[in-house]
Every structure is written in structure tokens, then in C-alpha cells.
């Protein structure tokens, strides 16, 4: 039998599990399989070591990896265990900048059992290679650039006539317009608006220049969009985006549900005004950064007394709080404290999911762990050069959190935002 790589779906969405099989090997032959992504010159890869069965097959989804970037049986282990390759600098984060293009993954097979580093040795030659495409943006999803008034960003609309439930999607102090999660939400049936708020286009260059009215305008705009069901608006955010999501849910009666991923229940880092008044009370002290061998942790830089938490429990908005117990950027007490503030007769409005071993940057499924990232410190009140920021997370536990939380996010929005008759993107592109 000729050596070949079989993939049951060569055009999946990134949140879909795929099956990879190497065929044509000798009985009990040792091989190493590597999956590699090169996104704008930043290279990430995962590898596993396998033993062919009696039929000369290696089925990655059903056979254990004995070495590499992960061990054991995991259908998507080659993906969630990815790390930056040996020649890359530290502190990289895999971000798909243009969600309309595929995430190209090169599958490579080597003879013998090799360590991850050895797969990049000068004298190591592959015996098989195959490139597959994985997508955040499904077939027939529309991508629309938003430039209306001072609002900026990207709107993704599912196929079909709609109107669709709408979701505003925000990230943290990375700034720019981060599209990939919004594109994936649209691929699952939601009109998703990737909303940048600084370091993008003509938006502010620093968090101190942001006005809360901007976010309220985004809610108003999306709810009035002709392809959006204005009675069913949700917000999702991670980190700074998560705390902003909670505040949008509190201050706008148009928001029905909020997902906050490791977002503080108060406004952190920078004070912010709304209608001329400062909103939120918390402590932020840049001198309390903790320097470790891995990088800089912001865990002790901010705090807030419970009496100054945003009283989101007073509002009739559904809230899903997602947190990592190995978060090294935000105190893990904040989300449980928020849940505990809900009176018994309002507990049904809030769901809390804390994941052991998960870090701060909880992404959609099968994304590599970003335990640290390189960050230029503009946007947090100064210009301090480049630093490695520490977010936390243990690879296996973090991967579980990403897979489980994504299912819960989709179910949460599906149940709290009443869907009308609309289409869902086909993952076959």
C-alpha cells in the first residue's frame, strides 16, 4: 500500500474534530506526526509519536501518542498542544488576523520516534506531507467592514435571510480588531460584531482615551441592523473585553445575555466616564507587577472590594462567567464572589464555570495555550517597551477548558437569545 495521509474533513471549522490516519506503513512501524501552522511568519506546531497497528495504520484519533507535545489518546492533540517552533521568539500567540482566509495546517510524517525539537533538525527528512485548511469563517458567511460614525470593526453575518440574534465580541489589551471568534460565532448562526476599541484604525491609541458611550453606540447600532434581531443581543468578551461586556449588560436594557471570560466585575486599569460621571471603583497599581522567570504577572496590580463590584445581579440579564483557576493576570476570587452576590431568587440568571488548570486567555477549541505573550506596554498608561506578560494555564487542563467552555457558550447564547428561522454555516467550504 502506498504511503498516504487520510483526513476525513479537509475543510473543517476550527471547532470541529477531525480524524487523521496515516496509511501504508509497516506493521508496528514507529512514526512521528507533526501539525504546523505558519501565520504571518509566526510558526506553531504540535507533534505525536505513534506505533502503526497490525494493518500498517496510525489513527491519530484512536491511538496514543507516546511522546511529543502531548501524550495519550486525543483526536485533536496535535492542535491543542501546539507551541511555537524552536526558531521562534518567546511570547507568541496564535491569532488569525483575517478570518476570511483559512488557517493552513501542514501535516508531516517522519519515520521513527522523534522529539518535537528533533522534527526541526537539519538532517531529518519527512516521508509524507499534506496541507489542510481549517476555517473560522464558514461557507457563505458575509464579512462586512464597519465604519459608521465613530464605530469600527467587522460584522459577520450567517448565511440566510435572518434576522439573526446579535453578539458583540471584544478582546482585551491586545487592542486592534480581533476577528476570529466573531467569525466562528457567525459560522454557528449568530450575527457577530468584532468590536475593537483602541489601537485600530482611527480609534484611540491608549485606554485612557476610551469613552463608554462608544460601547453603548455599538449596542444601539447592532440592535438596529436590518439583519439582526434587535430583541436578542448578547455580548462576549475576554479579559478587559469581559469586564466591558458586563458593564454593557448593566447599562443597556437592549442586552439580554453576557459571557465574561476572566473579566473583572469592575472597571480595571483605567477609569472611564459615562454620561459625564466616572463608573466603577477599583485599585490599580502598576508598581505591584510581579516579575518571574517566565514573565510579568499583573495578578496583584488590581483589586476591588465586593461593595464596589458592578451590581450586575440587579439587572434581568443572563450572565455566564468563565474563569481559569490558574489565571495569573486576574484574581480568581472575583468571579465566584460575583456569583455569590446573586440573591437566591436571581441565581438562575448567572452561571459560573471555573476551570482548574486553565489560564487567562481561554480561546475557542483546539487553539494552542498562550501561557505568555509578548506585549508592548502602550495602552496601559505608559510606554515601557516590550515585556513577556504571564497569563497562566497548564496545557492539558487549558485545552479541556477551551473545548468545554465553547460548547457552553454556544448553548448559552442559543438558549438566552431566542433564535428565529435562520441558517447555520456549512463547515464544508
Annotated catalytic residue within 225, 247, 318, 360? 360
Annotated catalytic residue within 229, 327, 370, 422? 327
Nearest Cα residue to 136 out of 104, 167, 93:
104
- 277: number of Cβ within 10 Å: 7
Contact 301, 286 (CB under 8 A): yes
Three cell numbers, residue 355: 476551570
- 405: number of Cβ within 10 Å: 24
Nearest Cα residue to 239 out of 294, 339, 152, 170:
170
The question of whether 318 is a catalytic residue gets the answer no
Burial category of 54 from C-beta neighbours within 10 Å (exposed 0-12, middle 13-18, buried 19 and up): exposed
Annotated catalytic residue within 47, 81, 187, 239? 239
Distances (CA, A) of 317 to 216, 248, 254, 334, 417: 16, 10, 9, 19, 11
Three cell numbers, residue 114: 522523534
Nearest Cα residue to 105 out of 60, 21, 45, 33:
45
The question of whether 239 is a catalytic residue gets the answer yes
The question of whether 220 is a catalytic residue gets the answer no
Give the integer Cα–Cα distance in Å for 404 and 412.
Answer: 12
Contact 148, 221 (CB under 8 A): yes
Three cell numbers, residue 299: 495578578
Catalytic residues: 239, 327, 360
Amino acid at each position: 500500500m502506498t504511503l498516504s495521509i487520510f483526513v476525513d474533513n479537509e475543510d473543517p471549522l476550527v471547532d470541529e474534530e477531525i480524524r487523521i490516519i496515516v496509511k501504508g506503513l509497516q506493521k508496528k512501524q514507529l512514526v512521528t506526526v507533526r501539525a504546523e501552522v505558519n501565520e504571518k511568519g509566526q510558526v506553531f506546531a504540535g507533534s505525536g509519536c505513534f506505533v502503526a497497528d497490525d494493518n500498517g495504520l496510525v489513527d491519530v484519533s484512536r491511538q496514543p501518542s507516546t511522546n511529543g507535545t502531548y501524550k495519550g489518546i486525543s483526536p485533536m492533540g496535535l492542535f491543542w498542544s501546539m507551541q511555537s517552533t524552536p526558531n521562534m521568539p518567546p511570547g507568541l500567540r496564535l491569532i488569525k488576523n483575517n478570518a476570511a482566509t483559512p488557517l493552513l495546517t501542514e501535516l508531516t510524517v517522519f519515520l521513527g520516534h522523534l522529539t518535537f525539537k528533533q522534527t526541526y533538525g537539519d538532517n531529518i527528512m519527512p516521508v509524507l506531507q499534506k496541507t489542510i485548511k481549517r476555517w473560522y469563517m464558514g461557507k457563505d458567511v458575509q464579512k462586512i467592514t464597519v465604519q459608521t460614525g465613530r464605530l469600527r470593526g467587522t460584522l459577520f453575518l450567517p448565511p440566510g435571510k435572518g434576522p439573526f440574534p446579535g453578539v458583540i465580541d471584544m478582546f482585551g489589551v491586545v487592542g486592534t480588531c480581533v476577528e476570529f471568534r466573531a467569525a466562528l460565532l457567525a459560522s454557528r448562526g449568530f450575527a457577530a460584531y468584532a468590536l475593537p476599541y483602541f489601537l485600530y484604525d482611527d480609534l484611540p491609541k491608549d485606554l485612557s482615551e476610551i469613552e463608554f458611550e462608544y460601547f453603548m453606540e455599538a449596542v444601539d447600532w447592532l440592535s438596529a441592523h436590518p439583519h439582526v434581531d434587535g430583541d436578542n443581543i448578547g455580548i462576549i468578551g475576554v479579559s478587559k473585553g469581559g469586564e466591558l461586556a458586563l458593564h454593557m449588560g448593566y447599562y443597556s436594557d437592549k442586552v439580554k445575555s453576557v459571557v465574561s471570560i476572566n473579566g473583572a466585575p469592575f472597571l480595571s486599569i483605567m477609569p472611564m466616564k459615562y454620561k459625564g460621571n466616572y463608573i466603577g471603583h477599583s485599585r490599580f497599581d502598576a508598581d505591584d507587577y510581579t516579575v518571574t522567570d517566565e514573565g510579568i504577572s499583573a495578578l496583584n496590580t488590581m483589586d476591588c472590594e465586593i461593595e464596589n463590584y458592578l451590581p450586575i445581579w440587579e439587572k434581568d440579564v443572563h450572565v455566564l462567567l468563565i474563569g481559569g483557576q490558574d489565571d495569573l493576570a486576574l484574581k480568581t476570587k472575583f468571579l465566584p464572589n460575583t456569583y455569590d452576590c446573586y440573591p437566591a431568587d436571581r441565581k438562575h440568571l448567572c452561571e459560573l464555570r471555573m476551570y482548574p488548570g486553565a489560564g487567562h486567555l481561554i480561546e475557542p477549541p483546539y487553539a494552542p495555550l498562550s501561557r505568555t505573550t509578548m506585549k508592548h506596554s502602550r495602552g496601559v498608561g505608559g510606554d515601557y517597551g516590550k515585556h513577556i506578560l504571564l497569563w497562566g494555564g497548564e496545557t492539558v487542563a487549558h485545552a479541556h477548558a477551551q473545548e468545554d467552555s465553547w460548547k457552553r457558550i454556544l448553548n448559552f447564547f442559543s438558549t438566552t437569545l431566542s433564535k428565529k428561522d435562520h441558517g447555520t454555516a456549512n463547515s464544508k467550504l
